Structure formats: structure tokens, C-alpha cells
Chain A
């Protein structure tokens, strides 16, 4: 639920650095659970540049819609095209098949991001 190799935002996005200056961005397991069945992910264009905290798209589930925000300054290298046909990957495997963006990091990782332990504490506080 809270893999150690990713960093988390308070808005329930994650960023997973791949070690070569790139990273994967998506929403957390907790976020997908709160949304329920995802039916559509609206994503930015390849090449778009964002600052930490910028809105980069929306996730639509059967019940609701949620805006999603960039964890750390970056440029979009690739979007997960599989999600067009299989939005349910976000529910089934948020940190794996459900990734949304592959990005090139712009500078150091946002220092405000949470590690797994801090994020787990945040989630358990929110769900009680």
C-alpha cells in the first residue's frame, strides 16, 4: 500500500524516481480506493512543463471526479496510453500498471514530499 521507493503528496499523488533523472507519476492506492472505479483519466500533452502543485489533469470515477496535481517540477516525456482502454489499471495497480505520466525531473525532488511512513500516518489520520 505504501511502497518505500516512491514519494507522496498530501493530495494523494505519488512520484517514483527511476534513478536516471526521470520518474513516474500517478495517484496512490488510497486515492484510487477513495475514488472507486476509475473510468477516465484526462492527461496533459507530452512536452508540457509543470511546477510542483500544478494541476495536470483529472481522474473521473463512476461516482466522482478529482483534480490531480504534479508532485515535483518536471516535463512530461510520456503519458500512459494504456489507460485510455484500461482506466481500471489505476484501481488494480496504482503504483505499477496504473502510472499516468513519465516525466523528466526539473531539478531536485520537491522537499515537501512525504516518505512512506509520513504518508501512511497522514492516511490513517484521514480515514479516522
Chain B
């Protein structure tokens, strides 16, 4: 029932003890990081000041901006020759965020993912197909190594080419598939088109869905149409990638591995802890990483810790579904996008005015992005406008990695908002 019985079933007291031990070790190790050494000096703090878990609060938060400012290696706590892998975030403004991993980090990451997959009932003998993008996107290699670590035959199908995904599913007898929720729907549509009944014609029984906000209704619908159990997965590149938190078979929240992370939920405005069980920003401290530990990292994801015990016997706290973001980041098709990235591209075009509107909507069960932008100067040349539209689309695709639907509109036709401009309208409906 448990892959790492001891670690998975630790009582709260044991978790706290292990966490303090690992926190102290991590903080000491962080003094090898130029960034943290300086930051501790600035706060007159030394590793010896961390005597209890409560002392964690003495350490300042680490932000995404810190990662950008120290790009690429300024936070690393090991010399580069100790690192064996580098991952970098998908599209962000300015410098991307880089995380480096030692061999031990990769091992521990694979262990965490393997533990998650085992928790939802997958075992050696299962065939695991991963439709994540590979490359820099951590959902690819992260699940690959985790699934292999568990001992499953793992099919690195990678993203796209739905027909081929389906061929793999049927030909290889795929029993477990990792996909973003909106892509599952795409696969189902293709199955219908090709006359494949997922219940009869495939061996699929488990779906791992994540990297995209989705509702309980969406999960139930996916389970219903595919005839599977679908489990929510949570991760982020700054915390390695997948394997941070995962649902168990109870499907009542995502256990976050507290032997890897110390969890805090804070009010993003006051930066103080929220009362127990209330929604706030998730703050994570890595306590099982050596290449690039992050102390009190502000994830910007909004969630809460679910109260009560889980019948599965694991005492690692459970996070509720992510409720949104404390910044304006958009998550579309598993890709992180900041509106400022879009704005930066649009503003390169002299032909465009400064007013624009990003609309996220669900079209035929696919999540799409529409960008309406006002045309500054209209000179009656239809061909030029089409060319302009194509060029804007191309540059945006390069920047944000998804293809938006760009629509030029007459100047003055977009709503003029008073005060803070509303640039993003999220009309996506979870089915």
C-alpha cells in the first residue's frame, strides 16, 4: 500500500522532528549559496538561529524575482560541477527561472514522483504514457524518471499528435496516462472520431491530470467519459516539477510530501500566516534538495490546508485544489503566461494602440486565448492588416508557447477601464 512506508506513514510528531533536522541541514548548506549567505548577513541571521521549526519565520521569503535577479546560478548552493541537470521555466518576462539539480536531487525527485504514482495504485507491470512536453518542461522528464523508478514501462509520447497518442494507448496497452485535463478531452474526441471506446478498446484505468487549474466537476467528467480514475497532480518547476503534492486514492485533497517541503500558507498582503484551514498563498521550503534549495519560496498559488485526517493513513497535510494565483499569472494548457509578456510583444508594433484585452475561453472543450488589440492607425489596407495579425501571432507564439487568436479591433472599441486596467478575462468553464 505504501512505497516508502516509514516516510509516508510518519506521525505528525515524527514529521516535525525530521523537518527540523532537514531544515537545519538545509539552512547550513545554503550558506554555500552567494544569494542566501548575503541575505542571512543582511538580516543578522546565522544557521544557528534556527533552533525550532518556528524559527523558519526569521528567514525572509524567496520570490520568483529573486530567481530572476540571480539568473542563472546565483542561488545555487553547490558548485556547478556538482550539477547534472538544469531546468528552466516556460516563458517568463525577462530572465527565466533556472533550477539546477545534483544527481541526488534527481534521485529524490524520481522517488517523490514514484511515491505519488504508487499512491494512486500504479505498480510495476503498468504501462505509463506521458503526454507532457519534454525538454525544459519538467512534466516530461519528471514523470519519466518517476515512472521508471517505480518500475513501469514508460512511454515518452511527449506532447501533441493525438492520433499517435491513441495508437500508443491501444497498441502498447497503456494503463496509465499523464495529460493536462483539457488534452484528455481532445483525446476523447479523437477516440470518438476513430470509433474507439476507451472502456472496451483500451486498458486505461488511471489518469494523472494536473498542470492546469480544473474543478472537481471536470475530474468527474473525465473519469466518466474515459472510464478511469483521475488523480490531481501538483508541482512547479521551482520545486523540481511534478511530485510535490498528489492525491491519494481517497481523492480528497493533495498530500504534500512534508519530508521534502515545509508548508506555510500566508496572507499575500500581510505576509502573516493565515488562520488554520483558510485560503492563502502557498509558501514552500525545500528540505530535501542540495543543488538549489529554496527557503520560504512564495509560489503565488492560492490554496488552503484541508482539516482532518485522511483515511489513507498518511499524515502529510493535504492541500485543497489550487484556487488561483496571488499574481496575474495565467496558466493555459499547462504553460505559465504573464500578461506583461503579451503586452511587451504588442507594444513592439507601432501600428497598435496601447489598449488590449486577453480573453481565455473554452471552445469545443479546448481552452483558447483570444487577444483583442486596438489598431492605432487604420489605412484601409486589408492585406496589411492580415499580415500584421499573422506577425503578431507568430511573435506571441514564440514568447508564450501557445498560439493565441489575435484580433485587431478599431481604436476606442475596447472597454476603457477606470483605474487598474482589466487586461484578462477568464471565461473558461470547466465543462
Whether chains A and B associate is no
